[in-house]
Amino acid sequence: MKNLKPFPLQKTEDEWKSELDTESYRILREKGTEYPFSGKYNTHFEEGIYECKGCGTPLYNSTNKFDSSCGWPSYDAAIEGALEYIRDTTHGMIRTEIICAHCGGHQGHVFQDGPTPTGERYCVNSASIRFQPKEK
């Protein structure tokens, strides 16, 4: 994946390949998408934080997660400063791609069709995140 700018965390593609499973590499580094309803966090609703699977940066709070029925984990907001937003005109659409601000890993896209007061739906690939439960 060619980054548009240097991110705080820099690794070679060989390093990424050795650290990530095949599906996470395809999504995080090659801007792939998992099949709808196939990701392990699609219907996951425990309390905690969802982090970037590439670098561990906290990206989404579980209090912002909702069931959008779109087939991917959905959030109505991200943790402030955790993501960068890039205009994406691939596949004949105009969308906003979301990437981790620390490592540049592709997360998914954000849409302005959310049902919550923010009006946003962060549509995220499960393979690009990992969950850290809230400490009790």
Would you give the end-to-end CA distance of the chain in angstroms?
39
Each residue's pLDDT expressed in tens, for the chain with a length of 136 residues: 444 568 999 999 999 999 999 999 999 999 999 999 999 999 999 999 999 999 999 999 999 999 999 999 999 999 999 999 999 998 898 999 999 999 999 999 999 999 999 999 999 999 999 999 998 7
So what's the pLDDT on residue 29? 96
Identify whether 123 is a catalytic site residue: yes
- Total domains present in the chain: 1
The SS3 assignment for 122 reads: strand
Token pair 């060989």 in the structure block, residue: 14
How many degrees, rounded to 5, is the angle at CA 127 between CA 25 and CA 109? 95
Please check whether residue 7 lies inside any domain of the structure: no
Are 59 and 100 in contact by the 8 Å Cβ rule? The answer is yes
| Residue 1 falls inside a structural domain | no
Is the alpha carbon torsion for 34, 126, 53, 107 positive or negative? positive
The catalytically annotated residue of 52, 55, 100, 123 is: 123
Say if 92 falls within a structural domain: yes
Structural domain range at position 76: 13-133
Question: What's 78's domain CATH number?
Answer: 2.170.150.20
Q: What is the structure's pLDDT at 4?
A: 57
Phi-psi region of 77 (alpha: psi -120 to 50; beta: other; left: phi over 0): beta
Q: What is the pLDDT of residue 2?
A: 47
How do strand 129-133 and strand 74-75 relate by DSSP bridges?
unpaired
Report field, pTM of the whole predicted structure over 0.75: yes
The answer as to whether 5 is a domain residue is no
Asked if the structure places residue 61 within a domain, the reply is yes
